[in-house]
Chain A
Amino acid sequence: MAGTQQGASGFIQKIPAGVISFTDDGNITYINDWLLKLLQYKSSDLSGKKIEHILTLASRIFYQTHLFPLIKLEKKIEEIFLSLKSNEAKEIPVLVYGHREEEEGHCINTCVIVAVWQRKKYEEELLKAKQRAEKIVKENTELTIAQKELESKTKLLDKQILRLRQINRELTAFNKVISHDLQEPIRKISLFTQSIKRAFDTENESVNNYYQKIDASINRLVLLTQCLAQFVSLTGNTEQIQVLSLKEVVMESLALARSTLAFEDIVAEIEDLPHLQGYLSQIKLLFYELIKNSIQYRDKNRKLRISVKGVISQYNDYKVHEDKYRYVDFVRIEYADNGIGFSNEYNEYVFEIFKRLHLDVEGLGFGLTICKKVVDNHFGEIFCHSKPGVGTTYTILLPVNMPDFSLDV
């Protein structure tokens, strides 16, 4: 029996293939003569060495990412291509077959290795030919597809530009109607109501009550048309894009909100914020409206705190084409307050025009609509997360580089 084993072991030393065993740590526990000769090592050279010692750098990565996970989980590997590195740093292309034995917590991985000098050359030629063929086919098909796509996209784009121009013209006309034509009848109603009131001066309480209601409605109408005019003017924007220091803009908005709303009692934590391209007046308006909102919907039982943070991260630049991806730099801004907050089911509702949640607080429900409009104008995104009694956090994504975009195409 011992003789047989001796024989078998001698046989393994001499068979024209490499045999190597190693532990999960990669420590070589056995290597046969044939492999030693192939690698130009003496047996003593490799004792206590790791398997990585006989691999090229690329094959070491492949060993860590593919070969080891595979043999550990599947208990065997077949036909794996690797490059060994000889004592004289010569590269040896080999194929590896292996299996794993686990006994009472003792694991050993054993591999058979054959050199594939000829096969490697043959494969390399095959690969080169395949890559050449694939490249040509790919370029051809891609070119044809791209041409067709370009053709149909150009047609579509032409129609879209036409439609946009039309909408833009309508908006301009609409804006004129709101800011001039509509103001005139409102002014007249107001004027003649005053005249009637003077002509028919009365003590009658219910009539005076009606007068008051008419006045209140006129005031509201004036405010609403002003808002609408502002909203429309944000669409037909003619401002130049410039590089903005976001922190400076936010500070200016804060100062403006403090003075116009005569509310100084804010603790503001504004971190260093990145620079970005955008429309200065609009970005200023965005933060003014957010701060105004925080002031209006503050929790009267505690001091108002707001914080603004911003980091640059990469987001997909494509918003309409679902299968198109191009990751570019965006500023991800987190604006948070400790206001009265709202339930998260209203996360989208709050950005709609003239939609309001807290009817007991004075306001029109227009501030966040402006914010959304400004963000849209910058091809960005805004969303919010709120908790009643805790506060609201707005997350705003604005591209670092803005395309020069005008509707007057």
Chain B
Amino acid sequence: MKQNVLARNNVKILGEGTVPMIFAHGFGCDQNMWRYVWPAFEKDYRIVLFDYVGAGKSDLSAYNKERYSDLNGYAQDVLDICEALDLRNAIFVGHSVSSVIGMLAAIKGPSYFSSLILVGPSPRYINDGDGYIGGFERSDIEELLSTMEKNYIGWANFLGPAIMKNPERPELAEELVDSFCSTDPVIARLFAEATFFSDNRNDLRKISHPTLIMQCSEDLIAPYEVGEYLHKNLKNSTLIVLKATGHCPHMSHPEETIQVISEYLNNFSFN
């Protein structure tokens, strides 16, 4: 089980510290997204990097449509890794949808985590009639799905949708894995649907872990109202608004990202 999980999720363990720090990538990419950030913590922490099944260099044969159509399925990946590595009191750093995935994992296995650091989190992306502002209408998300589909058209036509289980042509799977950030179109679509159509507002009050909400300026995917909503509904949270703009501060502004995370961790004593 242990070896399987580590290979399945392409788990990398680095760093010289003992306190575990898990970096979870968001939708659209893989663990490489963290490469400007984790080295700053390798002296003091035990760094755990991984790819969700379906992303990066994970084992595509482990992909299960039913499981990964639900963010709980992704949360199970995180829990499987925590169990395989026998982690306790880990710091979970999640970008974008991984913030929600991390919260779901923390509800199911509270003792694995000491705190959650959420980079550009959102519990629901679509506006709700009850006055909640997520930033999007359903039609926007449907247009995104179609944009994604068109970006796969070049090869989707001849590869077909069932690529990940194509034993006669293993080179296809390999080619996919090697082209950075690109996944099978079916997997990408299901991940996008699981991400952008999810509503996890009811889960927020179940979190008692200390959480850091890193809210970017001018982030259209997780607008400021969303960060404020999270801060109001997560009982033990700190809200920091970054100077960084956009949705990927760990890539566009790694220095500020590192500094904010370090300061938060320094104000904290972990045992």
The closest CB in chain A to the CB of B135 belongs to A57
Give B181 Cβ to nearest chain A Cβ, in Å.
Answer: 5
CA distance A8 to B144 in the complex (A): 37
Q: Is the interface of B mostly helix, strand, loop or mixed?
A: helix
Give A378 Cβ to nearest chain B Cβ, in Å.
Answer: 18
CA distance A70 to B251 in the complex (A): 10
CA distance A118 to B107 in the complex (A): 50
Known: A58-B143, A61-B220. A325 touches B64 (CB 8 A): yes
Give A348 Cβ to nearest chain B Cβ, in Å.
Answer: 15
Task: Please state if B180 and A74 are interface contacts (CB–CB under 8 Å).
Answer: yes
Q: Which of B64, B148, B246, B247 gathers the greatest number of chain A CB atoms within 10 Å? A: B246
Q: Answer whether residue B239 sits at the interface, using C-beta atoms and an 8 A cutoff.
A: no
CA distance A134 to B189 in the complex (A): 15
Q: Answer whether residue B150 sits at the interface, using C-beta atoms and an 8 A cutoff.
A: yes
Task: Please state if B29 and A25 are interface contacts (CB–CB under 8 Å).
Answer: no
Q: Which B residues lie within 8 Å of A72 (CB)?
A: 251-252
Task: Please state if B67 and A325 are interface contacts (CB–CB under 8 Å).
Answer: yes
CA distance A25 to B253 in the complex (A): 9
Q: Which A residues lie within 8 Å of B248 (CB)?
A: 64, 68-69
Task: Please state if A127 and B218 are interface contacts (CB–CB under 8 Å).
Answer: no
Task: Please state if B246 and A313 are interface contacts (CB–CB under 8 Å).
Answer: no
Q: Answer whether residue A80 sits at the interface, using C-beta atoms and an 8 A cutoff.
A: yes
- The 0/1 profile, CB within 8 Å of A marked 1, for residues 204-225 of chain B is 0010000000000011110000
Q: Answer whether residue A170 sits at the interface, using C-beta atoms and an 8 A cutoff.
A: no
Give B139 Cβ to nearest chain A Cβ, in Å.
Answer: 9
Q: Answer whether residue B154 sits at the interface, using C-beta atoms and an 8 A cutoff.
A: yes
Q: Which A residues lie within 8 Å of B218 (CB)?
A: 50
CA distance A62 to B188 in the complex (A): 12
CA distance A130 to B219 in the complex (A): 35
Known: A68-B246, A68-B252, A325-B66. A52 touches B147 (CB 8 A): no
Give A133 Cβ to nearest chain B Cβ, in Å.
Answer: 10
Query: CB within 8 A of A59: which of B64, B147, B154?
Result: B147
Q: Answer whether residue B136 sits at the interface, using C-beta atoms and an 8 A cutoff.
A: yes
Give B80 Cβ to nearest chain A Cβ, in Å.
Answer: 12
CA distance A65 to B248 in the complex (A): 8
Task: Please state if A60 and B220 are interface contacts (CB–CB under 8 Å).
Answer: yes
Q: Answer whether residue A155 sits at the interface, using C-beta atoms and an 8 A cutoff.
A: no
Task: Please state if B66 and A64 are interface contacts (CB–CB under 8 Å).
Answer: no
Q: Answer whether residue B28 sits at the interface, using C-beta atoms and an 8 A cutoff.
A: yes
Beta-carbon contacts under 8 Å, B146-199 to A: 146-151, 153-154, 156-157, 161, 180-181
Q: Which of B66, B150, B221, B246 gathers the greatest number of chain A CB atoms within 10 Å? A: B150
Give A138 Cβ to nearest chain B Cβ, in Å.
Answer: 8
Task: Please state if A57 and B143 are interface contacts (CB–CB under 8 Å).
Answer: yes
CA distance A61 to B96 in the complex (A): 12
Task: Please state if A69 and B251 are interface contacts (CB–CB under 8 Å).
Answer: yes
Q: Answer whether residue A398 sits at the interface, using C-beta atoms and an 8 A cutoff.
A: no
The closest CB in chain A to the CB of B250 belongs to A69
Task: Please state if B108 and A313 are interface contacts (CB–CB under 8 Å).
Answer: yes
Q: Which A residues lie within 8 Å of B151 (CB)?
A: 62, 66, 80-81
Beta-carbon contacts under 8 Å, A31-90 to B: 50, 52, 56-62, 64-66, 68-70, 72-74, 79-83
The closest CB in chain A to the CB of B69 belongs to A325
Task: Please state if B150 and A127 are interface contacts (CB–CB under 8 Å).
Answer: yes
Task: Please state if B26 and A25 are interface contacts (CB–CB under 8 Å).
Answer: no
- The 0/1 profile, CB within 8 Å of B marked 1, for residues 357-392 of chain A is 000000000000000000000000000010000000
Q: Answer whether residue B245 sits at the interface, using C-beta atoms and an 8 A cutoff.
A: yes
Query: CB within 8 A of A332: which of B35, B67, B108, B161?
Result: B108
- The 0/1 profile, CB within 8 Å of B marked 1, for residues 261-295 of chain A is 00000000000000000000000000000000000
Known: A58-B147, A325-B64. A64 touches B221 (CB 8 A): yes
CA distance A65 to B191 in the complex (A): 12
Task: Please state if A313 and B206 are interface contacts (CB–CB under 8 Å).
Answer: yes
CA distance A273 to B200 in the complex (A): 20
Q: What are 19 residue pairs bridging A and B, where the CB atoms are less than 8 Å apart in the complex?
A: A56-B143, A58-B144, A65-B27, A66-B29, A66-B148, A66-B181, A69-B248, A73-B35, A73-B251, A74-B181, A81-B150, A81-B151, A123-B150, A127-B153, A313-B107, A313-B108, A315-B108, A324-B66, A325-B64
Query: Taking beta carbons and an 8 Å cutoff, which residues of A are in contact with B?
Result: 24-26, 50, 52, 56-62, 64-66, 68-70, 72-74, 79-83, 120, 123, 126-127, 130, 134, 311-316, 323-327, 332, 385
Q: What 4 new A-B contacts, CB under 8 Å, besides A61-B140, A69-B33, A323-B66?
A: A57-B143, A65-B27, A65-B28, A327-B70
